[in-house]
Structure 1
Amino acid sequence: MSILWWNGRVPVRGERPGLTMMVGDVQKASEILLRWNLKGPRWKLAVKACVDAMEGRIAPDEARDAFREAAAEQGMYLPDLEVGPQ
């Protein structure tokens, strides 16, 4: 399967203090979502959006938006570092 890139990068806190990850594709977002402890409503929507994007039902940019909202819900989103479509 080819990597499903989306427009822009979503900055999130890394697993170690001071580490920032710039997430730019559906597959990486999926990996990160599976590592988070909080699995709230936005997390569930983001997981579904990533699966839907990988199966061609939605555009990768829709998965990006859902991932960004899940990252905010988790307290991992770093909006001041975002570059590109928001």
Structure 2
Amino acid sequence: MAVLGLNRKPGEALNCVGGECFKLSFIIITVVTLFGAVVSLVLVVKTRKFYRGDIYKKFREEETCVAENETTCGGSVREEKL
């Protein structure tokens, strides 16, 4: 405070009002948010091929086999319940 030429009186509260008080906090939050957005976009690009593929194909094949009561399905032998 002395550098700014301000004198603090004993018992007086240290108050800061306005945009200048929180400017550094806003800048930090903005930088962190932008960093998170960039990381998210990188992950989207890296995983696009995986999610374009049929990731549920295996599960659909199993459901089809159970629904049709096939004894052989996907190379494995299933026992039919009577």
- Greater relative contact order (CA < 8 Å, ≥ 6 in sequence): 1
Normalising to structure 1: TM-score of the pair?
A: 0.21
More strand by share: 1
